[in-house]
Structure 1
Amino acid sequence: MAASTPIVQIKARHRGSPTNTFNSLTDLPLRSTVTVSMPPYERSTHGCWSCRVRKKKCDEHFPACSNCTSRGITCHGYGPKPQWMDGGQREREVVRALRDEVKESLKQRKALWSAAKPPFSIPTPPSTTSPPYGSSTNAPPDLNYIYPQPAVELSPTSQNSGYRDSVPPDLVTSFLSGECTITDPRARRTDHESTLLMNYLDQVFPLQFRFYVPSVIELGRGWLLALLTRTKPLYHAALAMSAFYIKSALAKNEKDRSRCIQGHEEAMKTHHAIAFQHLQLQIAFLNSNQLEGTIKDRLEILACIIQLISFEVLVVNEIAADFLIGTILWYDIIATASTRSTAFLQNNVNYADNIELEKIMGCETWVMILIAQISALENWKRDMQKAGRLSVVELSSRGSEIAKLLNNGRSKTPAISKCPAQYSPLITQTFASSALTYLHVVVSGAYPELTEIKASVSMTLTALSNLPVPSLLQNLVWPFCVTGCMASRDHEPLLNDLVVAASEDAKCPGNYWKALEIIRECWRLREELTTDDGKGVDWVTSMERLGIQVLLV
């Protein structure tokens, strides 16, 4: 295929520099060469209408500000000025209603706290020395209070490399033999750690889980703070992420803040090393013949490994468990759809019962289940091809059933809106139309000029263009990557606008930049390779050529 015409023209604008024009996606700079402004704590002067009418400061968190959600009141969003804000009777009625909601929310909280015991009991720290495991108590050591000294001194050299090495056997033996000193971890927290912890809760966690808004009944994010302070590897992983975020945000003023950046760099490496050491210890304990772990023990370790936010699964708490299972389910489905790998949770539907993914990731659960079914269909197709028993009729029939469910679900999802309070329908529509593209690739092949693929790509691009905040595209990496890889020349202008807007408004690092690299490679391959062998080029083909496997989240 000749590469006579550019596929897409990307215009990247940088503050203080002229506009750069790229003739094709293959010319697009990757993250290492694109200058992105990432202010850590800056906010505009435009808060939500609820905070404005109440004359309160607004943190401008999307889809609804934390000030409103934490108080259980209606957040009227950030769109055009509401009609009720006329300075007259209607505005006074809204103000009165908001005051009533605040009072009712406070009343409900007091009732909850007085009627129910605290969700997390604070255990009394054990004695200074833990009894050897296997003693008469026949109970495993209390991991909540384990804080062994680092196995490797965190010198600059060891911080830069090698701190992921295995924990020395004598450290594990000392714990299992009862020689490991145990103290209350909360007593060791420094002022700097407290700062990093609050930054994680206030800044990093909302960026990781942008669509998670806890209700009043769930008592906000208090459960998260309790779990973070009770589980050492996850606690330090959160601090490392917090330090990394601050370091990245300060990078734009590196000349003036070099010492501050260096301090957070060291903090990030230190907490990262400690997190790995504690994780290695827990794995060693679990794998030892003296300790049999339950599924909850393994879920805790899994949460550490995939670098999720901190959870303490040993504490029985339904809210935390649902959040953790929902997050793992989400990552499992996206990982399978991203790389054609085998699903970790084979029966996704069983795990999805009573899990509302829209409250965590913004997309309704039914769409993710159908994406999992598409991945299962793709695996079935591959197995049948290897066995020489693939029935195109059966493949088409199975695909039609999934397409019918996707279209029915899309028709029942509310119309796309830019109102922050209605992000879930917009995100759901985006994933549903991207799932259709994925399905068409599985059934018909990765050919952008196919009518059905063109239609689903157009639907996704329309949904993405309705994002009220361009940087939200970075939270929709899988739909963006699938759509970008399967876009045709007809979609060039709209895709160009999306990339430019999202790149300018970027606030945090993430796999959005990897998705751009994958899209670029996909289009380059499509220009170079012929389709005489009957194979198309998609995002997985691109990853294989790049020698990477990326979780598109």
Structure 2
Amino acid sequence: MKSYDGCWTCRLRKKRCDEIRPVCRNCSALQITCHFGNEKPSWMDGGFGQKEKAEEVKREVKSAAARRRGTLPMDVLEPIAAEPDNDAGLATGGLNEQRASKCPPFPGPLCVRDLAPSQYQALDRRFMMFYFDHFFPFLFPFYKPLLLEGGRSWIMELVVGNQAMWHTTLCLSTYFVSVALDGAISGPNVCKTLAWEKLLKQMGVTFMMLHHNLEEVASSNTQDLIIKTSRIMGNIIQLQRFEISVGNFENCQKHLSAAITLLKQIFRAADNVIGDGELPTFYGVLSQMGRPLWAIKSQQSGAWSSDQAAFRFYSALLIVDDIIISTCTEEPPRLLEYHAQLLTNGGSPDERPLNLEDFIGCENWVMLQIGEISALDTWKKSIRKAGQLDTMELVARASAIKQALLGNLARLDAAANTPKTHWLGLFTLYNDHLPPMPGGCTAFVTRVWAHAALLYLSVVVSGWQPGSAGVRENVVRVLALLEQMPTPELLRTMVWPFCIVGCLAEPGEECRLRAMANALVPHRLFGAARKALEIMENVWKCRDGLTIDTDFAACVCSLGYVSLLV
């Protein structure tokens, strides 16, 4: 006898449900969305809505079946004429059923209609290698871990061993292969737009599945919880970075909040295991994920396991994302309490748990000070609202931040001609995706971020004064640095500095900033930089109406939503 208290998906499919939450066994086995809840869904109306939803579930079952066989779903690569998507086509102004049905499939290499199952699998493997060889280095050009730390092999190990990561990575790679072939293949743009929109919808389903997975593991207090939760966190951050790169910022705050919650849960779970009542060290958390493949006695680190390496990588990205979005939300970084132990422990970079320059090309001290400026901004606004602002205290706090930035900039300049060497350095010649620069790319990127941080500090302390001497000095310096970039694509690692400099630029400098953004082609792969240009242009339009009380957060939110500029 079938259950009448089961999930709505099983009721719709007229199947017996075991009522396991958050995903029943039927839906889990089929890898489809498990709808459950006390309230009856609006589509469960016994009429057209229910029939339409049933057809949607059938398509989802078919698509999931292709994934389980290790093949790529047809509707990822080409639109299905018989089943047009009414809400796809955001970039085409809306596509009606008749227009969608006339769209021919992708030509050339993207026509997969007649492939045998073995060829599908081969296609998947090639798309996956495209991700490892091209897409990942494109997104994270500074991430080149040494062989003694295990290199980048964890990426492949994690993707192959984790079904959710495999699926999301395949989706990402599919999109970028489509973009890469866009210039080489002629064909209707409508079809390509439909394929991309379907891909983004599929990513939305993936996020929902990840939230269900979170609920599933949240009740556990075992060491296994740490690994499972860290994998979910990594999936969320990876998908969010992809969404940002293609210009989709609608869910960035929600996804970032979920990832931050997961990181805090991981530390709490490690504390439950260690049991000393204090915030565990980063290495303490890593130790709960297993042992490194090998260890070096003179260092705390070694060749990290795939889960340890992934946790380090995604924690670094999350720390940066949290700091950057705090400058746009008028709130301090939500992971501020973790900064000291993750970014400053020890006297040398080798002793810090995370060196951000290895992940994003910017040294820790800049990000730490941007986080401090954001916290100072929040403090200033709350105290001023209460009528208790002490200007001398504000200046004193700001002076300490400014001196830290200027002191480190001076150190950076002094070390500009000092070559960096490390063991097995000869292999960097064959594994370097960055252009050669005097002093290195990380020093260049760090310098740009530092001068942008000084601009941010000026706005927080003195208000919106684009014409002031201090602001003009740093705007001119950053613009000069950005125009020295050896390749335009390097700008994608400095989007936040690019945006704040652009917002404070003079009219005569606008064309230089537009040229930098327009040099990033194809535009589809540089969503954050394009969004930064859109924010700047919005500020330029209302430049005469800006007052001294305007801040950077107001500029970023002038489009009606918060954009994560990373």
Query: Matched residues in 1 for 2:317 and 2:451: separation?
Result: 22
**Residue 295 of structure 1, CA deviation:** 5.0
Q: Name the aligned partner's letter for residue 342 of structure 2.
A: Y
Query: Matched residues in 2 for 1:468 and 1:264: separation?
Result: 34
Query: Matched residues in 2 for 1:521 and 1:269: separation?
Result: 27
1:505–1:188 CA distance, 2 compared to 1 (3 A): closer
Residue of structure 2 in register with 1:324 after alignment: 314
1:329–1:188 CA distance, 2 compared to 1 (3 A): farther
Within the candidate set 457, 469, 476, 1:458 is matched to 476
Q: Name the aligned partner's letter for residue 154 of structure 1.
A: R
Residues 48-447 of structure 1: pairs in structure 2 closer than 5 A:
148-151=30-33, 152-154=57-59, 190-253=121-184, 255-256=186-187, 261=192, 265=196, 268=199, 272=203, 275-276=206-207, 278-287=209-218, 294=225, 296-306=227-237, 307=239, 316=290, 317=305, 318-347=308-337, 348-352=339-343, 353-414=352-413, 419-420=436-437, 422-447=440-465
1:258–1:388 CA distance, 2 compared to 1 (3 A): closer
1:443–1:359 CA distance, 2 compared to 1 (3 A): same
Residue of structure 2 in register with 1:524 after alignment: 541
Residues 504-519 of structure 1: pairs in structure 2 closer than 5 A:
504-507=519-522, 508-519=525-536
1:530–1:410 CA distance, 2 compared to 1 (3 A): closer
1:514–1:259 CA distance, 2 compared to 1 (3 A): closer
Report the count of equivalent residues.
384
Query: Matched residues in 1 for 2:139 and 2:372: separation?
Result: 26
Assess if the C-alpha contact under 8 Å between 2:475 and 2:505 holds in 1. Answer: yes
Q: Which has the higher contact order (CA 8 A, sep 6+)?
A: 1
Assess if the C-alpha contact under 8 Å between 2:159 and 2:165 holds in 1. Answer: yes
Taking structure 2 as the reference length, the TM-score comes to: 0.60
| Aligned CA-pair RMSD | 3.9
Residue of structure 1 in register with 2:253 after alignment: none
Q: Name the aligned partner's letter for residue 222 of structure 1.
A: S
Larger helix proportion of the pair? 2
Residue of structure 2 in register with 1:79 after alignment: none
Residue of structure 2 in register with 1:448 after alignment: 466
Post-superposition Cα deviations, 1:488-526, rounded to whole Å, max 9, x if no partner, equal 24xx34x53343144134242321111011001112222
Query: Matched residues in 2 for 1:382 and 1:447: separation?
Result: 18
Q: What SS class does the counterpart of residue 527 from structure 2 fall into?
A: coil
Percent identity of paired positions between Structure 1 and Structure 2: 28
1:267–1:436 CA distance, 2 compared to 1 (3 A): same
Q: Name the aligned partner's letter for residue 136 of structure 2.
A: F
Taking structure 1 as the reference length, the TM-score comes to: 0.61
**Residue 459 of structure 1, CA deviation:** 1.8
Assess if the C-alpha contact under 8 Å between 1:470 and 1:498 holds in 2. Answer: no
Post-superposition Cα deviations, 1:412-458, rounded to whole Å, max 9, x if no partner, equal 11477973471000000000000000000100112101111111112
Query: Matched residues in 2 for 1:360 and 1:548: separation?
Result: 27
**Residue 293 of structure 1, CA deviation:** 8.0
**Residue 368 of structure 1, CA deviation:** 0.6
Assess if the C-alpha contact under 8 Å between 2:316 and 2:356 holds in 1. Answer: yes
Query: Matched residues in 2 for 1:275 and 1:504: separation?
Result: 33
Gap runs ≥5 in structure 1: 1-131, 134-140, 163-186
Query: Matched residues in 1 for 2:511 and 2:442: separation?
Result: 25
Query: Matched residues in 1 for 2:316 and 2:364: separation?
Result: 9
1:315–1:242 CA distance, 2 compared to 1 (3 A): farther
Q: What SS class does the counterpart of residue 205 from structure 1 fall into?
A: helix
**Residue 244 of structure 1, CA deviation:** 1.6
